[in-house]
Amino acid sequence: MKEHRAPWECTYAKEEKSECKPCRRPKSDQEYFEILCLCILQAGLNWGTVRRNWQRYRKGFYDFNIDRLAKAQSRELMKQPNAIRNMKKIKDIIHNAKEFQKIKKEYGSFSNFLKSLERVEDREISRLLMERFKHVGGYTAEYYLHGIGYR
């Protein structure tokens, strides 16, 4: 089982869940948010496409700067030459940036939010993520938790 840093290196994404170690834990809210955005942007695409275009996507989404995206307008992002051309994903990323700001205000950091869930069952944590964040379903929530090294 190889330890990995980039989610596209993860065999979990290829349905080999039992043979994959969780990714390393992010060091900042920015990293937690970027991985969430990666999970959202990857939906419907293959990992090769995401890997090849990742730096371009980062540039198109202001390096996934939470505060900047929380203030962004979806039409503005659609005009970015490097952003993905999917209005629903763009709107959901903007919503999720605002939700990250709320979590930071409530808990101090996303890491503290996760610590508050230590005694909560995995299924319940996935449900909480699906309620708070847009474009996050059961599999995306599960994969996100794996991608941030949670449990």
Q: What is the pLDDT of residue 114?
A: 95
d(C-alpha 129, C-alpha 125), whole Å:
6
Residues 6+ apart with CB under 8 A from 94: 69, 70, 72, 74, 77
Q: What is the pLDDT of residue 125?
A: 95
- What ranges do the domains of the chain cover? 7-147
Positions of the chain with pLDDT under 50: 1
Q: What are phi and psi of 142, to 5 degrees?
A: -65, -45
CATH topology of domain 7-147: Endonuclease III; domain 1 (1.10.340)
Q: What is the pLDDT of residue 6?
A: 58
Q: What is the pLDDT of residue 150?
A: 85
| Digit-coded pLDDT (tens) for 91-106 | 999 999 999 999 999 9
